[in-house]
Amino acid sequence: MARKVKISDLVLRDAHQSLHATRMTTEDMLPILPKLDKIGYESLEAWGGATFDSCIRFLNEDPWQRLRSMKEKLPNTPIMMLLRGQNLLGYRHYADDVVDKFVEAAAKNGVGVFRIFDALNDPRNLKRAADAAKKTGKHVQMAISYATTPYHTKEVYANLAKEYAKFGADSICIKDMSGLLKPYEAYELVKAIKTVVDIPLQIHSHATTGMSVATLTKAAEAGADVLDTVISSMAMGTSHSPTETLVEILKGTEMDTGLDINALLEIAAYFRDIRKHYEKFESSFLGADTRILVSQVPGGMLSNLESQLKEQGAGDKIDDVLKEIPIVQKDCGYIPLVTPTSQIVGTQAVFNVLFGRYNKLTAETRDLLTGRYGKTPAACNADLVKKALSENNMTEAVTERPADHIPNEWDKLVGEAKEHSADGSVEDTLTYAMFPKVAPKFFSERGNGPVKSESFAVAKAAPTNGGPMSVSVNGTSYNVSTSPSGDVITVNGVGYNVAFGAATAAPVATANTGVSSGADITAPVAGTLLKHVVPAGTTVKKGDTVIMIESMKMELEVKATQDGPVSYSVNPGSAITAGQVLGAIGGGAPLAAAPVQEAPQAAPSAPQAAQAPSGGTVIPAPVAGTYLKATVADGAQVSPGQTIIMIESMKMELEVKATDAGTVHFLVNAGTAINAGQALAEIK
């Protein structure tokens, strides 16, 4: 009996997320949707994952409008979204009432298939989202995060599939985010799951390790019902297997997809041209990396690890880190490596290599070990759990569902969203709930319209004659020309006197350069100083935590090296380097604040010079990025350590805190590009 295999294409979400940092605009998608709709796909993955974040952060697009626009042009093909269970699309667990509201709104606006997963495969983190999706009447697909460990056997996966079927799942997905699923193991896994559940099974396997085409073929042979692929011009590398390739492999067999290769080639041609718009974001990794077969690190994380190690002056340690990752993964309960667990395990492995195994635990590692992310697949290292409990000041690990400790928060979020320029709709409130630090800026600027993909074009060589040129900065174009002498640059009709000299290092964003005496407190790694744990002058004991820093998206404690009064030489919010003196134990008071040189500022759309400090204590930018907003009114009375500014850098939001008590005056406007060390405010 013929058994047609169905295809879900991921070109509208996972392909460009994997290859181009999720920058594809809706405008570039809409023209091809009618042709995609006629192919006969089981579904088109087009929403969720990182698309929501990128829409409001980089593209000035309303993600809900994107969903509605796509649905209008896809009347025959269900839109699939990727949903992280209780985390939804944000970076924390949400209260149950928020989960219900989000799923209901997503279904109303166009989602036809909810693919729901959890990094730990903890069913408790999935049940509420699954129940909410079932109430909408849409297709509910429960996904199993795939890993290769002694714990993750085909029997374990089959049991998870059985449990998810009891949730009312309409289908099951094997989510292989790192390309670890081998062809013959895929065959056996599909057989095992098909033995215990009688619902469709879908296979999702990235091409990162070079095995995905063979894996999908064997999975189909074993009985898989649906395969995830990507149109060929957006396939391979860290993306997925080419749609046309699988269609042709299965053609003429009992599994023939029935899809028209000529129609697929037309779509491939369209995206081949569209891909050129995103050349500047193109992943440097386009081949197969078999190191991942051992480390299990997702392809995108591998490049991040390499760059992070270079920042720490340890670029030669990458192989040591890759060897350490499986050890950390085991000690943390054999967790699959997918957001956010991949970053937690990877960063802890880096710290183990640099400082000795588990001498420094990140805050996120401690939370993982103490149950705050949910139940790990296997028991964690008992000694490590004791250490994490002690450092978290906990007597026992969390055993309940983490969301059970989160009270309903919808009404509170509605009020907060309105205070930050939301329009009062359910959709705007949910946007704010997902990304509360990014959404206000989007709300205030969405009237400007979406970013055009043309603004991403790779800059051509500037004219040598100083003639007019167009310069794109962070997606905004400026008309620029220079005088014959080169000492005047005109931006959008406004002239600026400039001078050129030898390049110098950007000033470090620290308030002081050192302390007068005592035992130095030094930064173990490069990153950002988050806060002083105890006030200056406090007498501490050796081993007490005195400073919290952020490095590689993780928090790290810095402890006192001896008994005595603590003094600080670097303010919270400052960028720090490995080995930098942050304070001292014993000795005199900290040195007076060193003057901070104001760095040049990128021209805004209507060029306006930043205000100069007028004698107050300067609050510098810890890193280069974008000034998002002030969190207090200009002229407000602030206290030391109070957050006064939010900036965005490297896709992350950072708080800038007051260093002194007094009246704050802001020197930079919201939306302005800023440089490390630039004066953002002053306190008098």
The pLDDT assigned to 41 comes to: 98
pTM of the model: 0.71
CA distance 44 to 78: 6
The pLDDT assigned to 284 comes to: 66
DSSP secondary structure string, 20-74?
HTT---HHHHGGGHHHHHHH--SEEEEEETTHHHHIIIII---HHHHHHHHHHH-
Residue, of 593 and 359, whose pLDDT is higher: 359
- Amino acid 343 reads Q
- Amino acid 471 reads V
Instruction: Cite the DSSP H helix spans in 110-198.
Output: 127-136, 154-166, 183-196
Residue, of 22 and 103, whose pLDDT is higher: 103
The stretch 567-590 carries a mean pLDDT of 78
* For residue 508, pLDDT beyond 60: no
Half-sphere exposure of 669 (CA within 13 A, CB side): 11
The stretch 322-334 carries a mean pLDDT of 93
Contact 200, 226 (CB under 8 A): yes
Q: Per residue in 378-432, pLDDT tens?
A: 999 999 999 999 998 999 999 999 999 999 999 999 999 999 999 999 999 999 9
* For residue 115, pLDDT beyond 90: yes
The pLDDT assigned to 525 comes to: 77
Q: At 238, is the pLDDT very low, low, confident or very high (cuts 50, 70, 90)?
A: confident
Residues 6 or more apart in contact with residue 652 via CB below 8 angstroms: 553
Q: At 470, is the pLDDT very low, low, confident or very high (cuts 50, 70, 90)?
A: low
The pLDDT assigned to 605 comes to: 35
CA dist 132 → 127, 202, 400, 508 (Å): 9, 21, 20, 49
Residue, of 625 and 446, whose pLDDT is higher: 446
Residue, of 576 and 163, whose pLDDT is higher: 163
The stretch 156-166 carries a mean pLDDT of 95
Q: What is the mean pLDDT of the chain?
A: 85
CA distance 508 to 667: 19
Q: At 651, is the pLDDT very low, low, confident or very high (cuts 50, 70, 90)?
A: very low
The pLDDT assigned to 516 comes to: 45
Residues 6 or more apart in contact with residue 565 via CB below 8 angstroms: 537, 538, 539, 540, 585, 586
Residue, of 17 and 124, whose pLDDT is higher: 124
The stretch 157-186 carries a mean pLDDT of 95
The pLDDT assigned to 7 comes to: 98
Q: Per residue in 431-459, pLDDT tens?
A: 999 999 889 999 999 999 999 998 887 75
CA dist 162 → 129, 195, 205, 381, 597 (Å): 17, 10, 21, 28, 63
The pLDDT assigned to 524 comes to: 82
Residue, of 639 and 610, whose pLDDT is higher: 639
Q: Sheet containing 673-674: give its strands across.
A: 652-657, 643-649, 625-630, 673-674
Contact 334, 505 (CB under 8 A): no
Per 3-state DSSP, what percentage of the chain is helix, strand, and coil (rounded to 5)? 35, 20, 45
The pLDDT assigned to 599 comes to: 33
Q: At 594, is the pLDDT very low, low, confident or very high (cuts 50, 70, 90)?
A: very low
Q: Per residue in 253-289, pLDDT tens?
A: 999 999 999 999 999 999 999 999 988 888 766 788 8
CA distance 316 to 298: 20
Contact 429, 413 (CB under 8 A): yes
Strands 581-585 and 564-568 come out as antiparallel
CA distance 353 to 318: 9
CA distance 189 to 185: 6
> 648 pairs with which residues across the strands?
626, 653
The pLDDT assigned to 514 comes to: 43
Contact 299, 285 (CB under 8 A): yes
CA dihedral 381, 383, 389, 391 (to 10 degrees): -120
